[in-house]
């Protein structure tokens, strides 16, 4: 280090190896090295909250794979890709392309299509990974279904069910991380039109006790561009996409869409567009 070099330069370049001058030099040099190491250890190895706004501006025009690489490097081991079992499989392909270690988690709500469960296995086999699955709280799920039945969301909205089956498990998972990576895009919904490529998570708290860093590498990517990449790279995809499904969630709350319909028309179709968020990706309050 510079500090060590400056210390060494204070002495004769070739003192006797066991002279008092040499021993003193070694002690001072070792002290300088310890101080440098302590400073390096004290510095956060991940992207800090203060850096997020500047990073969002800097990374705005980066390619998705570059954003993925930066995310994995900034939070090594303490970041996870959120995989829904739909076209966000491209995130896993991007992580694979970086050559860096990566983790993937999925929310098993207990209400997914059988095709989605099969797709999970396909992805694990293709990339030779193990997806980290999360599950709803059994007592809360039982209480909801016993009191309101299996399809209460058709009557009083999806928020309560999603809160138990998706938001709760996600909150628990994210509390063990410093950052997460999502496949959310600006063109998916009217609630996502100004989504940055990296942001302070508006809601969820990480293992440090502070809000997580949230990366959205596909933010400015269109659905057509996503599918161009999936086809080009030979990435496996959910067979529901061949049956008219575009946005895929739980089986009771997802249906195929017509060619000219927006992809979110197939989700919670009995509610208006402004309410079509399940609580996983609430609109940001700041970057």
The residues assigned a catalytic role are 278
Q: Give the C-alpha separation, 205 to 212, whole Å.
A: 6
Q: Give the C-alpha separation, 89 to 94, whole Å.
A: 9
Helix residue ranges, H only, the chain: 2-8, 20-42, 52-58, 64-74, 89-98, 114-127, 138-148, 153-156, 159-162, 168-174, 223-233
Give, to the nearest 10 degrees, the angle between helix 64-74 and helix 89-98.
70
DSSP letter, residue 192: S
**Residues 6 or more apart in contact with residue 145 via CB below 8 angstroms:** none
Place of tokens 């989605």: 116
Phi-psi region of 249 (alpha: psi -120 to 50; beta: other; left: phi over 0): beta
């Amino acid at each position: 280090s510079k500090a060590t070099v400056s210390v060494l330069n204070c002495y004769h370049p070739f003192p006797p190896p066991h002279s008092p001058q040499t021993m003193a030099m070694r002690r001072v040099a070792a002290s300088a090295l310890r101080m440098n190491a302590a400073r390096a250890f004290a510095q956060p190895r991940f992207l800090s909250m203060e850096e997020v706004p500047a990073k969002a501006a800097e990374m705005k025009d980066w390619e998705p794979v570059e954003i993925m690489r930066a995310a994995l490097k900034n939070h090594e081991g303490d970041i996870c890709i959120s995989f829904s079992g739909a076209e966000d499989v491209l995130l896993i392909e991007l992580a694979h392309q970086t050559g860096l270690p990566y983790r993937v988690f999925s929310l098993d709500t207990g209400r997914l299509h059988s095709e989605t469960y099969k797709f999970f296995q396909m992805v694990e086999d293709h990339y030779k990974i193990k997806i980290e699955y999360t599950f709803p709280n059994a007592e809360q799920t039982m209480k909801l279904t016993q009191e309101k039945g299996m399809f209460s969301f058709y009557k009083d909205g999806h928020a309560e069910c999603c809160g138990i089956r998706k938001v709760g498990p996600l909150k628990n998972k994210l509390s063990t991380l410093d950052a997460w990576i999502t496949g959310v895009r600006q063109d998916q919904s009217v609630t996502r039109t100004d989504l940055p490529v990296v942001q302070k998570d508006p809601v969820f708290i990480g293992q440090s006790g502070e809000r997580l860093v949230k990366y959205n590498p596909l933010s400015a990517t269109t659905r057509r561009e996503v599918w161009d990449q999936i086809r080009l790279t030979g990435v496996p995809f959910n067979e529901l996409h061949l049956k008219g499904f575009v946005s895929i969630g739980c089986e009771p709350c997802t249906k195929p869409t017509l060619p000219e319909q927006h992809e979110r028309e197939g989700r919670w179709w009995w509610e208006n567009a402004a309410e079509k968020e399940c609580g996983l990706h609430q609109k940001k309050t700041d970057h």
